[in-house]
Chain A
Amino acid sequence: MVFAHGFGCDQSLWRSVAPAFEGTHQVITFDYVGAGDSDRSAYDPLRYGSLAGYASDVLDICRALDLRDTILVGHSVSATIAMLAAIAEPARFRDLILITPSPRYLDDPPGYRGGFSRADIDGLFGMMDLNAMGWAEVLAPVVMGNPDQPQLTRQLETTFCSIDPVMAREFARVTFLGDNRGDLAAVSTPTLIIQCSDDAVAPPEVGEYVHGHLAGSRLTTIEASGHCPHVSHPVETVAAIRAYLMERQRDPASG
C-alpha cells in the first residue's frame, strides 16, 4: 500500500492512517521532492512543471521496490497523480483510493463547478507569497550568498510543514490550474473515492463528478467538514478503506 501526500504538507499527515494497515500490508509512505526530508537538490523544474512528473515519481518508487498488486492511496492532488500513474502502468495497481479528489479546481461554466475562480487561485498565489513563499524566492540568492545564515533558510522553509517555499509555489500552480477531467475515463483500476460531506476545497459535487466519470468507482462520504479526513477523521477514513478492501477481497470482480 503506497500513501501519496497532497499539496501543502508531507508524509507525516498519514501518521494516523497508514499504521492501521501495517499488519496486513506492506505500507510505504514518501515525500515528493521539495517536501519533508526529500533531497531538494533532486528538484527539476521541468519534471515538476506538470503532474506527470509527480506521477513518474510514484512509478519510480513502485519500480524501485518492485511493487505489484499495489493499492495506491492519494490525497487531494495526489488523487489525480495516482490516476495518472495508474493510467501509465495499469498492471502495477490493484486499487486506487482517492481521498478528496478534484480533477479541476477552477469552475468551468456552465457544466462544471470546481469551487474556485481564477481570481481565487491568483489570490491563493498572492497569499502564499505573503506567507514567505514569495519572500523565499526573492531572498534565496541572498540566503545562498550567506552560508553562515542557514537559520534564515530553515525559517523560511518551516513556516508551513516542511515544504520548500519555491517548490510549493510551482506545485500550487500545477495543482490548481490543471484540468485532468479528461483522464478520468482512462482509469481502468478499481477505485474508491472518499470525500467529506463539507469540503471547501473539493466540494461534494466534485466527488460526485469524479464518481460519475470514473467507471466502476465506489464513493464513500464521511460526515465531516474539511479537506483532510485522514487528519481530522482518521478512524472513519481507516474504516472506509477497510470496508472497501474487505468487499474487494470477498468479490474481486467488484470495484
Chain B
Amino acid sequence: MTRDLDGVPGGVLGLSADLHILDANATMGDLIGRSPSALLGEPLDSLLSAPSRILFQTHVFPVLAAHGRVEEVFLTLVDATGVPVPVLLNAARSEGPAGQRFDVLVVRVLARTRWETELLAGAQELARERAASQALASDLQRAVEDLSVRHEQEQRSHAVRDAFLGVLSHELGTPITTIYGMSQLLTQRLPMLDVAVATEYVEEIHAESERLRRLMGDLIVLSRAEAGSMVLEAEPVLVHRVVSSAVQSERARALSHRFIIENQPGLPLIMGEETYLEQVIRNYLSNAVKYSPAGSTILVRSETDAGGVVVRVLDEGAGLGSEEPDRLFELFYRAPGAAGKAPGSGIGLFVCRQLIEAMRGRTWARSNDAPNTGAEFGFWLPAMADLPLD
C-alpha cells in the first residue's frame, strides 16, 4: 500500500481473486486494532463476523464476481479483541499485473447503525401493530357479520312463530267451529232431526275430530324436531302392512277417491317405529286426496330399491307445476297455488321428512313426466340387514 492511502479516512483493502489480503492501509488496521502488515496473506473471512461471512459468501461475492462491483453493503468486522465493528463496504474488481483482484473500501458506521437499528426496530414494531390492527379490524368485521347472521336467524324464527300462530288459528279454528256448531245443533234439535241428517252431523264431527287428532300428532313430532330430540324406536316393520292399514283408514275418510295398492312381493323388513311410519303414509295420502280431483285414483306402490324399500304415492292431480320439490318439505311452506286450493298447515310434509330421516331414510316429491298427470311423493328406507348395528 502506498503511503498516500494510509491517511485516507477509510479502510482500504486489496484482495486476491480468492479473497486473501494483498494489502491494507493504516486506517484499515486502526479500524480493527491490528497492524496492517499482520493482515497480509490472511483470508478476508478472518476479519468478518460469522453472520458477515455468510452474507459475504452468499450475497456479496456472487454479485462482485458477476457484476464487478458492490456498493453500500452493511457488514460487521471483528476487531483484535473480538468486538464487532459495523462498516459499510464498497468493492470493485480490477485486473492487476498478477491477474484479477478486488479493491475494497470500508467506512465505520457505528452511530448511524445504532440509529438505523432503532429506526428499523420501530418501523418493524409499527408494521406489526399495523398488521395487528388489521387483524382486529377483520375480527370486528367478522363479528359484525356474525351478528347480522344471528339477526337474520332471529327474524326467521319470528317469521316461523307468526306462521305457526296463523296455522294454529286456522287449522284449529276451522274444525273446532264445525264440531262446536254441529254438536250444538245436535244438542238443541236432536228430537226433531231425521236420523240420516243426524248421522251426517255425527260423521262430520268425527271427521273434524280426526283432523284435529292428526294435527296434534304432527305438532308433537314438530315440537320434538324443533327440540332436536328426534330419536325413534327401532323395531322391525313390515312396510306393506303399514301401507295397507294407512290406506284403509284414508279410504274411509275419502270416499271421493279410488285407492290402489301395489306391493312387490318379498319386501324386506325395515327398522322404524310403525306408528310414525303410518303417520307419514297417511300424510302423503291425505295430501294426494287434497290435490287431485274427485273420482281420480291414488296409487300406492311399494318395491325393493337400492338396499331398501321405496314407497311412492302417485296421484292424478295437476302435479307440482314449476314448484321446487324440496321446498315443499320446508316447515310452513305452502306452494303458491296450493294455498287457495285446499286447507293445510305446511307442517305435514316437514314432519314426514323429519320422521323418515330419523329412520335413516330420505323423502322426495316430483311431478310425473307428462304435464297434468299427477305428482309423486315418495320415501326410501334402508332394509334391516343393511342397517349398521349400533
Contact = CB atoms under 8 A, between A and B. Distances in A.
Nearest to A13: B62
B220 interface: no
Contacts, number: 112
A138 B18 contact: no
Given A124-B51, A200-B53, A225-B43, A9 B59 contact: yes
A149 interface: no
Q: Give the interface residue-count category, chain A.
A: 35 or more
B18 A160 contact: no
Interface in B42-92: 43, 45, 48-55, 57-63, 65-66, 70, 72-76
B61 A226 contact: yes
Contacts of B61: 226-228, 231-232
Contact of B19 (A15, A76, A225): A225
Given A225-B18, A226-B19, A124 B55 contact: yes
B89 to A, nearest CB: 10
A134 interface: yes
A126 B124 contact: no
A144 interface: no
Interface stretch (B6-14, B112-120, B277-285, B348-356): B112-120
B127 interface: yes
B73 A116 contact: no
Contacts of A159: 72
Interface residues on B, range: 35 or more
B66 A8 contact: no
Contacts of B52: 127
B16 to A, nearest CB: 10
Which residue, of B57, B74, B120, B127, has the highest number of chain A Cβ atoms within 10 A?
B57
A112 interface: no
A120 B66 contact: no
Interface string A103-137: 00000000000011100110110111111001101
A201 interface: yes
Interface string B168-212: 000000000000000000000000000000000000000000000
Nearest to A7: B58
Given A131-B74, A138-B120, A226 B54 contact: no
B18 A123 contact: no
A145 interface: no
B312 interface: no
10 contacts: A8-B58, A9-B62, A123-B51, A130-B116, A134-B124, A200-B57, A201-B58, A225-B19, A227-B61, A228-B65
Interface of B: 17-20, 43, 45, 48-55, 57-63, 65-66, 70, 72-76, 113, 116-117, 120, 123-124, 126-127, 130
Interface of A: 6-9, 12-13, 15, 76, 115-117, 120-121, 123-124, 126-131, 134-135, 137-138, 141, 159-161, 176, 198-201, 224-228, 231-232
